[in-house]
């Protein structure tokens, strides 16, 4: 495209945005993570009004705004893939080297899916409805990656 | 700038504020917000289903989270509703009030809930603010919102001794107010006999700006519910009316680092325009309270002159004679102001919320001990931007200079 | 007496080893001194993710020293006393960088009195991260021309064709008159100081994430050829911080500030760093 101004003096300067921050998981989020870490158990919360089990857990029901933070429900470590994508590029912010699979996994007994890494499977062999189980991490990071990944049952 | 009369009147019908503190490890962002949402709904006697639209705002980059409005639906109650995110820097809370007022006044929605929040403990405030600056020049030079320029100018004009005492008097008054407000993040119990010690010994940040002068970094949320006149009168006995508001921006200012006085300020410009079009001749006489966005004691003192269109040292005298105290002639920030609590995205909205509570007469222990009918609230942000809002107890004001 | 709120001061120091969080001490190399009035001194050394605490009255080698009384110290430790309030009311004094002590809060688990551990508060997860994103900025023709000028040791400004205002660094338009700036003029490179921001506060440089060295001076300079508010924003030579005077214009009355000149970098690449800083022009 022809520019209608002189571009002789236009150039690019490399820059950076680097800043520290801290994320507080809160009481509900901390319980979720520490239970995965210490007991290898995945917990959700249930809204009795809407009859929905949410994973990851939350303090309030997004629909009726009821306080549900104490309605803990223990879920199994088994669920099914309801959707997935194959990550085919590498970036320093990604948890794995490409190619790897990120899947929406709905645990048995839960009404909401959660995103996690699906491993121990050829990316091209993943199908919707595939039964998967949680594989827990050996080393804790105090994050959702205390579940290292999910793998086909 | 053309300004048209409102299509219909808008009232504040519900207010919620969390307690402000240095950190909230026990809740994540949507959980913290929800505390204020719940409070505001209860205050208005409404259910989330009664809200037509949710506005959400905070500073970009402060918690290092993008599009928090999506994630926060858990706490905001925006599920299945119209929702907009606003982020205009320090003025965010003020802009949320303006936008909510405009949305209801226009007839687009009858009931709008506006939410301002910040969890500053999660990010790096000064680093975040520095990042708003021009990446090719000013990022290298800026130190967030920390600056001693107001101090330099006050000292130049009135001498070091008088200027420093005025700033510290302002600071101690704000702390005395903060001690009355149960939501304050910082309330030290400062007293007059500490004046000389604090002037000399509080750790310096930049030049004459010391730690004690500067606002805190706080966590917290503020929620205000707005309704059309018809709805507002159904919802509550004590709606507080938004009479008018003005927003004034200026260019990104690489030239702020001067010592040229008097310089143009958006505060004075905004005040002049707003009073003129509302027929307010003497703002100091007219208003019963002013909740000012005062990021530091130095700015607080300096800006009194701008907002009230004062001359010479009239603003210093207001401070020196302690007429800005809660029982004084012109109470400034009975809440303790921004120095007492600064969850930035909520801060400017807290000014309107606190001014509205003063008009309702239920501000709590920091209620002004005489009737409050007319209130002013300001916001500050960006590179010297201003939002200024007038609140009224009664729907009885005269037309003013509208088109 | 060395017991306050039912807690012995010695227990707080003796339990530090058990409460230590190596992950919280990563990258920290500091010695902290604690001078507790009438009770004694302790020296905490943090290096390479390890800690040592010694009872000693010789705190002379410490990077920072906290000077306080026993009651305040215990109060701070168990959260009964607010650090900022104690600081403001002079109950604690800090020798050295006052914010360094903030580091200790993340290096140790909270102190619990014996027997209290069993009913310990719930563990709250806090993840510390640094966001780091590479960026590329396009200068555009106007800022690009200005930066190119710096390479040739020239400071350029644009002039508004309507109000005549000079802007440097330059902008495409005069925002006040809403017209395109077309005329270029060379200004400075010498000028007088109009504003000094004497920075004690160590903030991060967002371009690197590194903490800036303090103190430093950010300055507004009225370069020769400029007037009124047309100041240029840069840095002052750090060792001249105490030797300069600000000029001003107060209701028309002019007071001149210290004359300054730029110190150019040998290698200039067309960035703000082509000028190292400004120094006194003698």
Subunits in contact with chain C (3 or more CB pairs closer than 8 Å)? A, B
Average pLDDT score over residue span C75-81: 78
Q: Which residues contact A18 (CB under 8 A, 6 or more apart)?
A: C130, C131, C132, C133, C204, C206, C207, C208, C209
When pLDDT is cut at 50, 70 and 90, the band that residue C109 belongs to is confident
CB of B403 within 8 Å of any CB in chain A?
Answer: no
Q: Which residue of A has its CA nearest to B81?
A: A63
Say how far residue A76 (Cα) sits from the centre of its chain.
Answer: 17
Q: What is the DSSP string of B160-208?
A: HHHHHHHHHHHHHHHHHHHHH-TT-S------GGGHHHHHHHSPEEETT
Chains touching A, CB cut-off 8 Å, 3+ pairs: B, C
> How far apart (Å, rounded) are the C-alpha atoms in residues C89 and B172?
13
What pLDDT was estimated at residue C25?
82
Residue of higher predicted confidence among C45 and A18: C45
Q: How far is C242 from chain B (nearest CA, A)?
A: 11
Measured on CA atoms in the order A104, B56, B253, C173, is the torsion positive or negative?
positive
- pLDDT at residue B256, rounded to an integer: 66
Beta strands in A25-113 (DSSP E): 42-47, 52-54, 72-75, 78-87, 100-107
The overall average pLDDT reported for chain B is 93
End-to-end CA distance of chain C: 61
pLDDT on residue C1: 54
Using 50, 70 and 90 to split pLDDT, how confident is the model at B60? confident
Q: Is the separation of the CB atoms in A132 and A78 below 8 Å?
A: yes
- Tell me how many residue pairs between chain A and chain B have CB atoms under 8 A apart: 71
The model's confidence at residue B346, banded by pLDDT at 50, 70 and 90, is very high
Contact residues on chain A for C123, CB-CB shorter than 8 A: 30, 34
- Rounded CA gap, B68 and A67, in Å? 21
Contacts of C100 (CB under 8 A, 6+ apart): C30, C32, C63, C64
Q: What is the DSSP string of C126-188?
A: EEEEEEEEEEEEE-HHHHHHHHHHHHTT-EEEEE-TTT--EESS--SEETTTTEE--EEEEE-
Query: Does pLDDT of C254 surpass 70?
Result: yes
Tell which residue, C180, C185, C273, has the closest CA to residue C223.
C185
Of A19, A29, A62, the CB nearest to B64: A19
Q: Do A59 and B79 touch (CB under 8 A)?
A: no
Confidence at residue C38, expressed as pLDDT on a 0 to 100 scale: 85
Q: What distance lies between CA A143 and its chain's CA centroid?
A: 10
The answer, for B30 touching chain A at a CB cutoff of 8 Å, is yes
Q: Tokens for B140, please give them.
A: 């290298």
B359: tokens are 């008009």
Reply yes or no on domain C3-114 having CATH 3.30.1050.10. yes
Residue A15 at interface with chain B, using a CB cutoff of 8 Å = yes
The 10s digit of each residue's pLDDT in B254-283 is 566 776 666 678 999 999 999 999 999 999
8 Å CB contact of C88 and B190: yes
Q: Do A29 and C125 touch (CB under 8 A)?
A: yes
Distance from CA of A122 to the nearest CA of C (A): 31
Q: Which of B46, B59, B72, B77 to mutate to test the interface with A (most CBs of A within 10 A)?
A: B77
Which domains can be identified in chain B, with CATH numbers?
Answer: 10-125+217-228 (3.40.47.10)
Pairwise CB contact (< 8 Å): A26 & B28: yes
Q: For residue B257, give both structure tokens.
A: 């680092």
pLDDT band at C118 (very low <50, low <70, confident <90, very high): very low
Nearest residue in chain B measured CA to CA from C242: B207
What is residue B35's DSSP assignment?
Answer: H
Question: Does any CB of chain A come closer than 8 Å to the CB of residue B206?
Answer: no
CB-closest option in A15, A25, A27 to C137: A15
What is the total residue count of chain B? 403
B189 touches chain C (CB under 8 A): yes
Cα–Cα dist C246/A147, whole Å: 60
Nearest Cα residue in chain A from B126: A19
CA distance A83 to chain C (A): 29
pLDDT above 70 coverage of chain B, percent: 95
Region label for C49, one of left (φ > 0), alpha (ψ between -120 and 50) or beta (otherwise): left
Contact B362, B356 (CB under 8 A): no
Q: What pLDDT is stored for residue B47 in this prediction?
A: 95
The partner residues of C197 in beta bridges, in order of sequence, read C218
Q: What is the pLDDT of residues C132-157, one digit of tens each?
A: 888 899 999 999 999 999 999 999 99
Structure tokens at A25: 């998981």
At B260, list the tokens. 């040229």
Among all residues of chain A, which has the CA nearest to that of B73?
A: A62
Chain B positions touching A10 (Cβ under 8 A) are none
| Residue contact A13–C128, C-beta within 8 A | no
Confidence class of residue B63 from pLDDT cuts 50, 70 and 90?
confident
Whether C178 and C172 have beta carbons less than 8 Å apart is answered as no
Better-scored residue on pLDDT, A106 or B144: A106
Question: Which of B74, B80, B127 lies nearest to residue A60, judging by beta carbons?
Answer: B74
Residue C85 distance to chain A (closest CA, Å) = 24
Q: Domains of chain C: which residue ranges? A: 3-114, 140-280
Could you give the CA distance from residue C118 to residue C104 in angstroms, rounded to a whole number?
A: 24
Residue (of A101, A92, A91, A97) closest to A128 by Cα position: A101
In chain A, residues with a C-beta closer than 8 Å to the C-beta of B37 are 65
C51-65, C67-81, C132-146, range with the lowest pLDDT = C67-81
Picking from C106, C121, C127, C210 by the largest number of A CB atoms within 10 A of its own CB, the best residue to mutate is: C127
Least confident span in B1-10, B153-162, B168-177, C59-68: B1-10
pLDDT at C119: 44
Mean pLDDT of A55-61: 93
Q: Is B124 on the interface with A (CB under 8 A)?
A: yes
Q: What is the pLDDT of residue B263?
A: 65
- Pairs of residues, one from chain A and one from chain C, whose beta carbons lie less than 8 Å apart: 104
Q: Which residue has the higher pLDDT, B309 or B129?
A: B309
A17 near B CB under 8 A = yes
Mean pLDDT of C69-83: 81
Q: What mean pLDDT do residues C268-278 have?
A: 95
3-state secondary structure C205-272: CCCCCCECCCCEEEEEEEECCCCCCCCEEEEECHHHHHHCCCCEEECCEEECCCEEEEEECCCCCCCH
In this complex, is the C-beta atom of B284 within 8 Å of any C-beta atom belonging to chain A?
Answer: no
Query: Would an 8 Å CB–CB cutoff place B135 in contact with chain A?
Result: yes
B84, containing H or E segment:
strand B82-86
From B28, which residue of chain A is nearest by alpha-carbon distance?
A26
Contacts of A21 in chain B (CB under 8 A): 63-64, 122-124
Residue C108, pLDDT score: 83
Beta carbons of A26 and B123 less than 8 Å apart: no
- How much is the pLDDT for C90? 72
| Closest CA–CA distance from residue A18 to any residue of chain B (Å) | 9
Q: What is the mean pLDDT of residues A15-33?
A: 89
Q: Do C203 and B130 touch (CB under 8 A)?
A: yes
* Minimal CA separation from C220 to chain A, in Å: 24
Residues of C with CB under 8 A from a CB of A: 122-142, 144-145, 147-148, 204, 206-209, 270-271
**How far apart are the C-alpha atoms of B391 and B397, rounded to whole Å?**
11
Note the pLDDT of residue B254. Answer: 58
Contact of A29 with chain B, judged by CB distance below 8 Å, is answered with yes
Q: What is the pLDDT of residues C239-250, one digit of tens each?
A: 999 999 999 988
Where is average pLDDT lowest: B311-315, C15-19, C175-179, C188-192?
Answer: C15-19
Q: Does A70 touch chain C (CB under 8 A)?
A: no
C255's tokens: 């007071």
Count of beta carbons in the 10 Å neighbourhood of residue B253: 15
- pLDDT for residue B367 is more than 90: yes
Whether B377 has a pLDDT exceeding 70, the answer reads yes
Average pLDDT over chain A, rounded to whole? 93
Most confident segment among B55-69, B164-178, C95-109: B164-178
Q: b vs e for B15-27, b when ≥16 Cβ sit within 10 Å of the residue's Cβ?
A: bbbbebbebbbbb
Q: Which residues of B touch C235 (CB under 8 A)?
A: 141
- What local confidence, expressed as pLDDT, does residue A17 receive? 83
**Sheet with B111-119: strands ordered across:** B82-86, B53-57, B111-119, B219-228, B10-17, B240-248, B385-392, B374-381, B289-291
Residue A125, chain C, CB below 8 Å: the answer is: no
Complex confidence, ipTM = 0.89
Provide the b/e sequence for B361-374 (b: ≥16 CB within 10 Å). eebeebbbeeebeb
Measure CA of the first residue to CA of the last residue in chain A; give whole Å.
55
Average pLDDT, chain C: 87
Tell me the three state secondary structure of residue B377: strand
């Amino acid at each position: 495209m022809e520019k209608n101004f002189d571009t002789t003096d236009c150039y690019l300067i490399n820059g950076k945005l680097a800043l520290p921050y801290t994320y507080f998981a809160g009481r509900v989020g901390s319980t979720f993570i520490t239970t995965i870490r210490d007991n290898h158990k995945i917990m959700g919360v249930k809204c009795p009004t809407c009859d929905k089990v949410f994973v990851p857990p939350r303090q309030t029901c997004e629909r009726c705004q009821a306080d549900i933070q104490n309605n803990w429900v223990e879920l199994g470590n088994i669920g099914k893939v309801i959707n997935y994508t194959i990550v085919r590029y590498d970036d320093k912010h990604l948890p794995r080297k490409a190619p790897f699979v990120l899947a929406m996994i709905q645990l048995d007994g839960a009404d909401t899916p959660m995103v996690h890494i699906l491993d121990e499977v050829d990316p091209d062999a993943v199908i919707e409805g595939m039964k998967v189980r949680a594989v827990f991490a050996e080393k804790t990071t105090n994050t959702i990656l205390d579940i290292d990944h999910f793998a086909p049952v | 700038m053309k300004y048209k009369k409102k299509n219909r009147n808008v009232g504040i019908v519900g207010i919620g504020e969390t307690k402000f503190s240095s950190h909230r490890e026990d809740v994540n962002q949507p959980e913290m917000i929800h505390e204020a949402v719940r409070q505001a709904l209860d205050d208005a006697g409404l259910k989330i289903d009664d809200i037509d639209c949710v506005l959400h705002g905070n500073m970009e980059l402060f918690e290092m989270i993008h599009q928090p409005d999506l994630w926060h639906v858990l706490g905001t109650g925006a599920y299945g509703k119209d929702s907009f995110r606003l982020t205009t820097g320090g003025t965010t809370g003020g802009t949320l009030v303006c936008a909510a007022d405009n949305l209801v006044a226009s007839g687009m929605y009858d009931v709008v809930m506006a939410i301002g929040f910040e969890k500053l403990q999660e990010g790096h405030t000064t680093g975040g603010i520095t990042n708003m600056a021009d990446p090719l020049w000013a990022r290298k030079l800026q130190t967030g919102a920390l600056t001693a320029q107001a101090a330099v100018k006050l000292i130049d004009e009135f001498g070091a001794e008088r200027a420093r005492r005025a700033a510290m008097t302002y600071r101690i008054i704000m702390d005395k107010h903060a001690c009355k407000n149960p939501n304050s993040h910082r309330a030290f119990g400062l007293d007059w006999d500490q004046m000389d010690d604090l002037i000399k010994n509080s750790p310096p940040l930049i030049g004459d700006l010391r730690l004690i002068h500067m606002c805190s970094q706080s966590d917290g949320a503020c929620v205000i519910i707005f309704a059309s006149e018809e709805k507002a009168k159904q919802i509550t006995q004590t709606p507080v009316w938004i009479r008018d508001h003005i927003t004034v921006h200026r260019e990104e200012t690489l030239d702020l680092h001067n010592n040229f006085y008097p310089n143009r300020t958006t505060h004075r410009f905004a005040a002049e325009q707003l009073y003129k079009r509302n027929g307010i001749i003497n703002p100091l006489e007219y208003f019963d309270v002013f909740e000012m966005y005062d990021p530091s004691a130095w700015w607080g003192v300096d800006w009194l002159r701008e907002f009230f269109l004062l001359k010479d040292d009239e603003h210093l005298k207001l401070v020196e004679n302690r007429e800005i105290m809660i029982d004084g002639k012109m109470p400034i920030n009975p809440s303790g102001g921004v120095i007492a609590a600064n969850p930035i995205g909520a801060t400017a909205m807290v000014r309107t919320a606190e001014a509205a509570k003063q008009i309702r007469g239920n501000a709590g222990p920091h209620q002004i001990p005489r009737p409050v009918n007319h209130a002013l609230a300001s916001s500050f942000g960006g590179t010297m931007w201003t939002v200024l809002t007038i609140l009224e107890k009664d729907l009885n004001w005269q037309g003013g200079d509208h088109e | 007496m060395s017991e306050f709120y039912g807690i012995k001061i010695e227990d707080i120091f003796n339990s530090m080893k058990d409460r230590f969080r190596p992950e919280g001490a990563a990258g920290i190399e500091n010695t902290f001194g604690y001078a507790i009035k009438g009770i004694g001194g302790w020296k905490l050394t943090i290096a390479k993710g390890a800690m040592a605490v010694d009872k000693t009255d010789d705190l002379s080698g410490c990077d920072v020293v906290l000077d306080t009384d026993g009651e305040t110290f215990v109060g701070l430790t168990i959260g009964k006393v607010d650090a900022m309030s104690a600081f403001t009311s002079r109950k604690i004094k800090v020798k050295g960088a006052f914010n360094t002590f903030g580091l200790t809060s993340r290096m140790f688990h909270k102190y619990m009195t014996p027997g209290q551990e069993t009913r310990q508060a719930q563990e709250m997860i806090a993840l510390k991260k640094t966001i780091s994103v590479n960026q590329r900025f396009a200068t555009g023709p106007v800022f690009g021309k200005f930066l190119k000028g710096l390479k040739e040791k020239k400071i350029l400004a644009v002039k508004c064709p309507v109000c005549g205002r000079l802007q440097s660094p330059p902008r495409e338009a005069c925002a006040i008159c809403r017209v395109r700036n077309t005329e270029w003029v060379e200004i400075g490179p010498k000028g007088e100081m109009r504003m000094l921001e004497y920075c004690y506060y160590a903030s991060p440089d967002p371009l690197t994430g590194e903490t800036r060295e303090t103190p430093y001076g950010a300055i507004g300079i009225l370069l020769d050829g400029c007037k009124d508010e047309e100041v240029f924003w840069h840095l002052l030579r750090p060792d001249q911080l105490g030797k300069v005077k600000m000029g001003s214009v107060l209701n028309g009355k002019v007071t001149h500030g210290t004359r300054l000149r730029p110190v150019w970098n040998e290698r200039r690449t067309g960035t703000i760093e082509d000028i190292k800083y400004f120094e006194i022009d003698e």
